[in-house]
Amino acid sequence: MLAQSPPPLQHLLSLQDLNQADFQRIFERAALFADDPAKANHQISIAKKKYTNLKGRSVFNLFFEPSTRTLTTFAIAATRLSADVHSLNIATSSQNKGESILDTVSNLMAMGADYFVIRHPQSGAAQFVADYVGNRVHVVNAGDGRHAHPTQGLLDLFTLRHFRGDSKGEISHLSVVIVGDILHSRVARSQIWGLKTLGVQDIRVVGPATLLPEGIHEWGVKVFHDFDLAINGVDAILMLRLQNERMERNLVPSFREYFHYYGLDEMRLKRAHPKALVLHPGPINRGVEIDSSVADGTQSVILAQVSLGIAIRMAVLSLMVES
Ligand code: CP
């Protein structure tokens, strides 16, 4: 019987669209680009080698929300793959003169766009553009509202796999806690979906009731309100930022109180497995959700996540061009 070729990756809008084989395909490609980075002290070095996978292609970054890591690492990833990269400055674009997102997209297609990497405050914005462009352009969701941030989810799982994966690169044996503002977090939604797809059984979430979404008990996760209980013995702690920009009212009494109950400091970290990894998608708010001694400590892989994010984004962009 002939081996079936994997389905094409036209767009990446949500991790819900990927199966376990898709994850493995992306991770294996990313591992090539990560160039066997050193594991000592949780340092990562990503080779600055140039590849030609996207030679002659144009990647347009359309960020309707601020970004440091995602925008820059997509630009680096596309450049390393030899694409022409254009990052539209939305603040000074004709969006400000009332142009619709679809008219903007049509004009960029007339300029030869092959990829749109889109970040937008509205959930569903990337899907909206993907429905419009069909198979003429690849669309990558770089974060839409509180819905999804698929490449962040991928790079978080890739980081776990890199540092704690078993000999087959599997992470299903790990016990993981996701901490904080789950309600507004597209990152948490992508992480949970990815962890479940990869067979992780022990997924815990913890936060105050005001920051947990309704119905979270049906998401296949263990729900906690007490961080000291939730962190017990875990292999990885996935911290989240308080997403103030998405809060319609004050949902925590004060940052000081929030840190007291849900902040990660060295004392609390001792309750986890001694080799537990600390992850955070960034930007971090020191003293609000995480203490500097932990963010900069030996168990932190926060900067390794950023470096591995380049390899993940190179993997996604390069697999799309093969579809
Ligand atoms: N993690 C993340 O999305 O960071 P940026 O907002 O800086 O892109």
Residue nearest to atom 5 of ligand 1 (CA): 67
pLDDT tens for each residue of 184-204: 999 999 999 999 999 999 999
Nearest to 128, CA basis, from 149, 152, 91, 100: 100
Dump strand ranges (E) for 121-254: 138-144, 175-179, 202-206, 222-224, 236-239
How many Å lie between the centroid of ligand 1 and the Cα of residue 145? 13
- Burial (CB < 10 A; 0-12, 13-18, 19+), residue 253, is exposed
Check residue 277 and give its pLDDT. Answer: 98
Tens of pLDDT, residue by residue over 110-126, are: 999 999 999 999 999 99
- In whole angstroms, how far apart are CA 267 and each of 260, 270, 285, 290, 315? 12, 5, 18, 12, 38
Q: Give the confidence band of 153 by pLDDT, cuts at 50, 70, 90.
A: very high
Q: Could you give the angle at the alpha carbon of 43 between the alpha carbons of 42 and 46, nearest 5°?
A: 130
Cβ atoms 181, 241 nearer than 8 A: yes
- Report the SS3 class of residue 107: helix
Residue 267 clears pLDDT 90, i.e. is over it: yes
61, 69, 302: which to mutate for ligand 1, most atoms within 8 A of CB?
Answer: 69
- pLDDT, tens only, 158-172: 999 999 999 999 999
Q: What confidence score (pLDDT) does residue 250 get?
A: 72
CA 52 to chain CA mean position, Å: 25
CB 65 less than 6 A from any atom of ligand 1: no
Mean pLDDT of 27-45: 79
Residue from 67, 147, 289 whose mutation best tests the ligand 1 pocket (most atoms within 8 A of CB)? 67
- Local confidence band at 147 (pLDDT 50, 70, 90 cut-offs): very high
* Cβ pair 243, 143 in contact under 8 A: no
- With CA atoms as reference, report the closest residue to 239 among 196, 299, 197, 170: 299
- Distances in whole angstroms, Cα of residue 133 to Cα of each of 8, 127, 247: 16, 10, 32
Tell me how far apart the terminal alpha carbons of the chain are, to the nearest angstrom: 22
Confidence of residue 271 (pLDDT cuts 50, 70, 90): very high
Average pLDDT, the chain: 93
Strand order in 58-63's β-sheet? 84-88, 58-63, 115-120, 138-144
Residue 254 confidence class, pLDDT cut points 50, 70, 90: confident
Q: Residue 248: is its pLDDT beyond 70?
A: no
Position 87 scores a pLDDT of: 95
User: What number is the average pLDDT over the span 60-87?
Assistant: 97
Name the one residue in this structure whose structure tokens are 């044996």: 173
Average confidence (pLDDT) over 164-181: 96
- Residues 129-157 have a mean pLDDT of 97
Model pLDDT, residue 178: 98
Q: 152 in ligand 1 pocket by Cβ < 6 Å? A: yes
Per-residue model confidence (pLDDT) at position 231: 98
5 pLDDT higher than 90: no
Q: Strands 202-206, 222-224: parallel, antiparallel or unpaired by DSSP?
A: parallel
pLDDT higher than 70, residue 3: no
Distance between CA atoms of residues 95 and 61, nearest Å? 14
